[in-house]
Amino acid sequence: MSVESKVYSVTELTRQVKFLLEENFHSIWLEGEVSNLRIPSSGHMYFTLKDANSQISAVLFKGNSRDMKFKLKDGLAVTVQGEISLYERSGQYQIVIRKMEPKGLGALQLAFIQLKEKLEGEGFFDSQKKKQIPLLPGKIGIVTSPSGAAIRDMLNVIDRRFSNLHILINPVRVQGEGSGNEIAQAIEEFNQMPDIEVLIIGRGGGSMEDLWAFNEEVVARAIYSSEIPIISAVGHEIDWTISDFVADLRVPTPSAAAELVVKQKSEFVDKIALYQERLKGSLGYLLETLSHRLKYAIESYVFKEPLNRVTQYIQRIDELENRLKKDLSHTVEIQQRHLQGVFAKLEVLNPLSILKRGYSITKKVDKTEILCRADQVQVGELLETKLLEGTLISKVEKIKGVDNG
């Protein structure tokens, strides 16, 4: 090693390289595909930017990602702007990104597609969950800018069509940072008020950037959670926002929303008049029908000869009474015969009847068993003999008819 040769430390060399890179590549545009994306708790994004043959480490710090509308993920082709730097600790060169756009597709358009797919997967656009818009709401809530042309158009249309409706306006910003949160909060506030029957949210036309507040997830979730039916009226007929898909009804313009939510007062007046005429006609027909029925009833036989009809019923009652008496007499006679037969059978079975014929009943004294055979007693036992009248007590002296072996 010559005397003139300089010996660098690793740190010195690394810093020299870092300086050369940052000096010569302080602002460049680079395109590639995202892979190995990592987002730690700090919120910074670390990934690899690659093409078919090479790759470079990349970092997007949290402060530079706040305004990014779309969601970064592996496989996404992007165009980035930043400076080449070197991470001294590992000696690895990288690009520190300041701006990022999806390649071939605008950032807002990609963010719109990503959020639309996400909410559709959660069922936010399900037609079966859409609420019915009331026919004639008594109290209408409007969420829009108080100074825009949209609110003036809606109020003019509503006043022209039905001048005495109750309208509440919750003024919000409809574009710019934080406007989405204001719109969502206004929807939630209306849901805490009584008697609000329908909400209109919207604004006039503009670029996609101007309408972006109505593409924010916080607004979509506020619409989906609303108990009050919501009409989305954003931009012009060709403009579609996320709020249009989530809302219970989408209309092309704010003026169209006002025309839809409030029918012409004259239409209701004409319908009421028509219903009144129909009611008069129906009542007239009903009265005429009832009049004919009454006239027919008055001219019928029963009203002309009412006494004759009554006497026929009296005669019929007498006939039924006689028949009932005969039926009862016959039934009583049959039952009496039956009872007599039962009494005769009971009389035959009555022990007293047997005693009347000269028979008696004998049992041992203080016993209940009736004696039927001589071998049931022994000589010397006392017997009790029941006669028709009176009882005999006797003592067995001798037993006959028993084989004593």
Q: How far, in Å, CA of 169 to CA of 196, rounded?
A: 11
In the chain, the number of structural domains is 4
Examine residue 4 and state whether it is found in any structural domain, yes or no: no
Residues 152 and 242 in one domain: yes
Residues 176 and 239 in one domain: yes
Which of 194, 147, 133 is closest to 168 using CA atoms? 194
Q: How far, in Å, CA of 201 to CA of 151, rounded?
A: 10
Residues 117 and 257 in one domain: yes
Residues 229 and 314 in one domain: no
SS3 label, residue 50: strand
Q: List, as one string, the DSSP characters of 109-178.
A: HHHHHHHHHHHHHTTTT-GGGPPPPPSS-SEEEEEE-TTSHHHHHHHHHHHHH-TT-EEEEEE---SSTT
Examine residue 188 and state whether it is found in any structural domain, yes or no: yes
Question: Which of 314, 329, 349 is the endpoint of a domain?
Answer: 349
Q: In the block, which residue shows the tokens 């129909």?
A: 278
137-142 average pLDDT score:
88
Q: How far, in Å, CA of 327 to CA of 323, rounded?
A: 6
Residues 254 and 146 in one domain: yes
Pairing status of strand 166-171 against strand 230-234: unpaired
Tell me the pLDDT of the chain averaged across its residues: 82
Q: What is the per-residue pLDDT for 226?
A: 94
CB of 381 closer than 8 Å to CB of 394: no
Examine residue 209 and state whether it is found in any structural domain, yes or no: yes
Residues 171 and 59 in one domain: no
Question: Terminal CA-to-CA distance of the chain, rounded, Å?
Answer: 156
Res. 269 pLDDT band, cuts 50 70 90: low
Region for 178 from its dihedrals, namely left if φ exceeds 0, alpha if ψ lies in -120 to 50, beta otherwise: left
% of the chain at pLDDT higher than 70 = 89
Examine residue 288 and state whether it is found in any structural domain, yes or no: no
We report the CATH number of the domain holding residue 120 as 3.40.50.2300
Residues 26 and 118 in one domain: no
Residues 254 and 118 in one domain: yes
We report the CATH number of the domain holding residue 72 as 2.40.50.140
Residues 209 and 168 in one domain: yes
Which of 62, 66, 32 is closest to 44 using CA atoms? 62
Containing domain of residue 29, as a range?
10-105
Which range has the top average pLDDT, 5-14, 19-28, 102-111, 201-210? 201-210
Question: Which of 199, 234, 263 is the endpoint of a domain?
Answer: 263
Q: Which amino acid is at 56?
A: I
Res. 194 pLDDT band, cuts 50 70 90: confident
Token pair belonging to 209: 């950037």
Buried b (16+ CB within 10 A) or exposed e, 255-268: bbbbbbbbeeeeee
Residues 40 and 85 in one domain: yes
Examine residue 55 and state whether it is found in any structural domain, yes or no: yes
Residues 256 and 148 in one domain: yes
164-191 average pLDDT score:
91
Residues 151 and 253 in one domain: yes
Residue 173, pLDDT > 90, answer yes
pTM over 0.75: no
